[in-house]
Chains A and B, each alone.
Chain A
Amino acid sequence: MAQLSVDDITLRFGGVTAIANVSLTIEPGQIYAIIGPNGAGKTSLLNCISGVYKPQHGRLVFEGQDMASLRPYDIARLGIARAFQNIALFRGMTVLDNLLVGRHIHMRSGVLSGMAFWGRARREEIEHREIVEDIIDFLEIEAIRKQTVGSLAYGLRKRVEVGRALAMAPKLLLLDEPMAGMNAEEKEDMARFIIDINQERGITCILIEHDMSVVMDLSDQVAVLDFGRKLAEGTPDEVKANPEVIKAYLGEELAIEHVE
């Protein structure tokens, strides 16, 4: 059974149709790439999956559950996490606290036990701190764990953004251009992290990325969006060979490095 099925969704903003009758099927364990030129509707699609926008038409089903009536905070609890394209970290918090917010849905303590910092609240903090420290080690950001994220370099912030989503221990991870604006070395690190997240932690990934070589290397399936429509879908090789894709997109874009 598909883990996530996007069934014929349409999303409009006034006169602009950001997504037009798009259907996708994401199987558990996949790295599923979504590519397409600027404004194609990729981020809008993620916004529909995480419940920030509700499509005017069509259905989204995650592990058998219709998502139509779910708010973003319900969807987080289903096991869907997201790293944002325009870094959306909690600026005033440390790296550690940002990741701990990722643990929010797995924690219980309330106002009173928190204020007492005694018994359960304290145990819970330590227990989740350990989980978060694992992720910090994994992403190799030990040195900055107590820094306020507002003071970090761009590439590191992108990494923390992924770490925060990972802290939610999701089943499905939405990665919106996690490598945009990075240098080659940082991109390589990020690619390695994504492979580990997928293979060692068994997390399904939806990856939006402009760098074609990365997409072709990492992904099991690729969907191509253009002006809100799905142009093609298939394995990287199939997509590369698809004449429509070559004509509309890859033809001019493949050689050009995207600068965001």
Chain B
Amino acid sequence: MQSGVFHTTYGKDMALQQSSWQKWRLGLVLAALLIFPFVADNSQLYLANTIAIAAIGAIGLNILVGFTGQISLGQGAFLGVGAYASALFTGRLFELFGGTGGTPFLVSILLAALFTALVGTLFGLPSLRLKGLYLAIATLAAQQIIIWIITHTPKLTGGESFSLRPTLLFGLNMNQNGDFRFYWLLIPIAILVTLAATNLFRTRVGRSFVAVRDRDIAAEVMGINLFRTKLLAFAVSSFFVGLAGALLAHYRLVISPDRFEIGTSISFLAMIIIGGMGSIAGSIYGAAFITLLPALIESLGRQVSNIYPNIDTMLPYIQQGAFGLVIILFLIFEPEGLAKVWHNIKNYFNLWPFSY
């Protein structure tokens, strides 16, 4: 029986996947991810892709809120910054100056993420003086200002809606059979982001983020420059959020300001609350949960529609009600989120049958 995990070197002790059971589990997940696109239909692929993008964004938000303790209500707008920036870089920015060219897709999403990091850092400046609720209000202002800018610069952003050129990757049109093709792009990027964020929090900078969250004065007395660290957290967080936004834009090909409103910020906060604050895995669980919940309710609704014919008109309300209810239930019963639930289940079986 496995009574614990022991290590002979610190290098091994730091490895991410420690027991052979964990390696097996990882292998199974990867195998499932490889098989999935060949057995799933387009709407299922669409959900998987949406989850991958949401997971990248939720990891970004969790870095700031869950790990560094800086509340942000501006997530939606930062997604928008990434989306519009990449849309501009791949085309319209050139058209504005009479050109026809565009930045290659991969370069463009990277630039868009960097640009969002810059904007995020700028709107992180109030975190020097503001904490908690006051910082939340300041980021709400950021949310409104950014959306205002997007809707009031139609030359740049197309105003109501913005159509992108098809996404070309090494000459391949990614938007043809888009759900399938994008899957092979989005899943690897989501995996890379997950790895990068996990690594971040087992090294120097990530620890300084958590230190600032837990005890800012003690962190400062230990040599951590609070302001620089908070700004860095805003930058890293916004980088991933911007990346998610850029990917969303190229996947959907049409973007409009209403996708990036405060409601989006709230959904992302819900993801990390339900998934688990300060947990990378939790960000992914939360992204999956919040993406699947409305889809699940809709398909349930369709099944009972011959019994309750009016269910269609009520669906949006049921979805919103369920959304609110789930957040409240998690806040009350499992504030550490799905990550904690999963952790408890694993622990139970790790020591099974002697789990008391």
Contact = CB atoms under 8 A, between A and B. Distances in A.
Contacts of B205: 109-111, 114
Interface string B207-246: 1101101110111111111100000100010000000000
B203 A104 contact: no
Nearest to B207: A101
B96 to A, nearest CB: 32
Interface string A94-106: 0001001111110
Contacts of A51: 221
Contacts of B321: none
Interface residues of A, number: 45
Contacts of B200: 111, 114-115
Interface of chain B, main secondary structure = helix
A140 interface: no
A113 B196 CA distance: 10
A85 to B, nearest CB: 12
A89 B207 CA distance: 13
A50 B221 contact: yes
A184 to B, nearest CB: 28
Contacts of B11: 122, 126
A104 B208 CA distance: 8
Interface in A54-71: 71
Interface stretch (A75-83, A190-198, A212-220, A250-258): A75-83
Contacts of A129: 10, 14
Given A92-B210, A114-B203, A126-B11, A104 B215 contact: no
A185 B202 CA distance: 35
Interface string B336-348: 0000000000000
B278 interface: yes
A121 to B, nearest CB: 5
Nearest to B235: A111
Interface of chain A, main secondary structure = helix
Contacts of B202: 117, 125
Contacts, number: 117
Contacts of A107: 204
A203 to B, nearest CB: 16
Contacts of A113: 203
B223 A73 contact: yes
A73 B213 CA distance: 16
B14 A125 contact: yes
A87 to B, nearest CB: 9
Given A102-B222, A111-B200, A168-B222, A133 B10 contact: yes
A100 B10 CA distance: 13
B207 A97 contact: yes
A110 B229 CA distance: 11
Nearest to A103: B204
B204 A90 contact: no
Given A92-B210, A92-B213, A125 B203 contact: yes
A125 B333 CA distance: 36
A76 B225 CA distance: 10
A122 B14 CA distance: 9
A247 to B, nearest CB: 36
B199 A115 contact: yes
Contacts of B207: 93, 97, 100-101, 104
Given A73-B225, A97-B207, 14 more contacts: A52-B220, A82-B221, A88-B217, A89-B214, A90-B211, A91-B215, A104-B223, A111-B200, A111-B236, A114-B199, A114-B205, A116-B196, A122-B14, A126-B11
Interface of A: 50-52, 71-73, 75-77, 81-82, 84, 88-93, 97, 100-105, 107-111, 113-117, 121-122, 124-126, 129-130, 133, 164, 168
